[in-house]
Amino acid sequence: MSVLQDRGRAWIELDAEALRKNLAWFQQRTPAKQLIPVLKANAYGIGAREILHILKETDVHMIACACTEEAVSFRTWGWTGDILILGATFEKDMPLLEAYHLTQTLLDASYAAKLAHSGVSCHVHIAVDTGMHRIGFDAVDLDAIQQVYAYENLCVSGMFTHLCTSDAKEHASFTHTQISRMHALITRMKQAGMDPGMVHISATYGLLNYPSIEEDAARLGIGLFGVLNNETDSQHYRNALTPVCSLYARIASVRSLHKGEYAGYAMAYRAEKEQTIAAISIGYGDGVPRDFSMHGAYVLVHGRKAPLIGRICTDQALVDISGIDAQAGDIVTLIGKDGRQEITIGMWAAWEDTITIDVLTRLTPRLKRCIISDRTADL
């Protein structure tokens, strides 16, 4: 657990060395591919500004995000490399693409026409629909793709698809179909004299399960942070990947709860025996699910498990610290290690019956993000 005592009421710690090691592991796994870290949704809730600070000291050349607002923020925070926007930039914001030197994804033919007719000059990556049916040009519609090359203000510098089931090996045949469709399109394009630019097909699970995919680059999302979709997958790669994110709060108040008394909103918790409980300074306003206590969730206090009880409040939560010598101001671990115990993001996901990305993206901006290099000091 962190030995720092000046973090305030609740905070996230980011292990810079862990992130660099994770990046290096994926790069060693596929040395011929350029890795494109995806920092959408505030770097999956972990903290995009802080992650950018770390990535500036690596050999990463391109990052990706979901929308124009994120991309502009990255520029204002000092990122000078390429930025790929994976989602739509709508007409009123299209001038920002040129002003901030951003690369825009072409979602389909009609979107490409709108961007071309806006007069904005920018680099673009062509999205290809190989079976997910979310965005992208049809993988067999060569004529529509060829039209993009006729737009003088759009410079095609890349092309990509998304493997929608690369995390599920039982659906490997569908994934191979997607890959084959993409490669067939690229072959036809080259035969027709079109340069697809940087081709990227894989994301994190593609890199893990299909490392031999022929491509120039891969989008590295949740895996960069040492986390995979669920606890089972995360534990499988635990020797290779290290979690980057830990979450802490403080005890605000300690009191006795007598048998038969209620704690928290709506009388949702009733003491069956004499207990000592603590209010901790974090709640669903920070991203802790409101019903967490109903699913067996707990925190760590001085290396011991302390169950969450009652409804989580906006800014506070209650925990049972019976038998634990704790007082106001003590640090509580919600994600991370404390002594021999550990709570992982995968455990949070299991408690909520969801995936880790859903858990992480709920972590709100009011949680202070702190970059650490050796678990004891700021960079």
**Contact predicate 24/223, CB 8 Å:** no
Residue 130, token pair as written in the block: 């190989």
Render pLDDT for 115-154 as a digit per residue (tens, 0 to 9).
999 999 999 999 999 999 999 999 999 999 999 999 999 9
Token output for 281: 């300074």
| Given 56, 190, 259, 265, the catalytic residue | 265
Characterise 361 by phi-psi region: left (phi > 0), alpha (psi -120 to 50), beta (else).
alpha
Q: Which residues of 221-247 are buried (b: 16+ CB within 10 A; e: fewer)?
A: bbbbbbbbbbbebbeebeeebbbbbbb
Q: Which among 126, 121, 114, 144 is positioned nearest to 195, based on CA atoms?
A: 126
User: How big, in percent rounded to 5, are the helix, strand and coil portions of the chain?
Assistant: 30, 25, 40
For residues 113 and 151, give the distance between their C-alpha atoms in angstroms, rounded to a whole number: 8
Give dist(CA 90, CA 40) in Å, integer: 17
Q: Which pLDDT score, from 0 to 100, does residue 5 have?
A: 52
Sequence letter at residue 206:
G
Q: Which of 21, 33, 40, 92 is catalytic?
A: 40
Q: CA 117 to CA 240: how far, in whole Å? A: 47
To the query of whether residue 269 is one of the catalytic residues in this protein, the response is: no
- Phi-psi map region of 219: left, alpha, beta (phi>0 left; psi -120 to 50 alpha): beta
The H or E element spanning position 148 is helix 142-148
Give the CA count within 13 Å in the CB-facing half-sphere of 46. Answer: 32
pLDDT at residue 377, rounded to an integer: 38
Angle formed at CA 161 by CA 183 and CA 79, multiple of 5 degrees: 125
pLDDT (tens digit, 0 to 9) for every residue of the chain, 379 residues total?
Answer: 444 456 799 999 999 999 999 999 999 999 999 999 999 999 999 999 999 999 999 999 999 999 999 999 999 999 999 999 999 999 999 999 999 999 999 999 999 999 999 999 999 999 999 999 999 999 999 999 999 999 999 999 999 999 999 999 999 999 999 999 999 999 999 999 999 999 999 999 999 999 999 999 999 999 999 999 999 999 999 999 999 999 999 999 999 999 999 999 999 999 999 999 999 999 999 999 999 998 999 999 999 999 999 999 999 999 999 999 999 999 999 999 999 999 999 999 999 999 999 999 999 999 999 999 754 433 3
What ranges make up the beta strands (E) of the chain?
10-15, 34-37, 62-65, 82-85, 103-106, 122-129, 137-138, 154-160, 198-200, 217-220, 245-257, 262-263, 269-270, 275-280, 298-301, 304-309, 317-320, 331-338, 341-343, 368-372
| Stretch (H or E) spanning 352 | helix 345-352
The verdict on whether 265 is a catalytic residue reads: yes
Structural domains of the chain, with CATH: 32-225 (3.20.20.10), 245-372 (2.40.37.10)
Alpha-carbon distance of 201 to 185, in angstroms, equals 13
Q: How far apart are CA 274 and CA 260, in angstroms?
A: 9
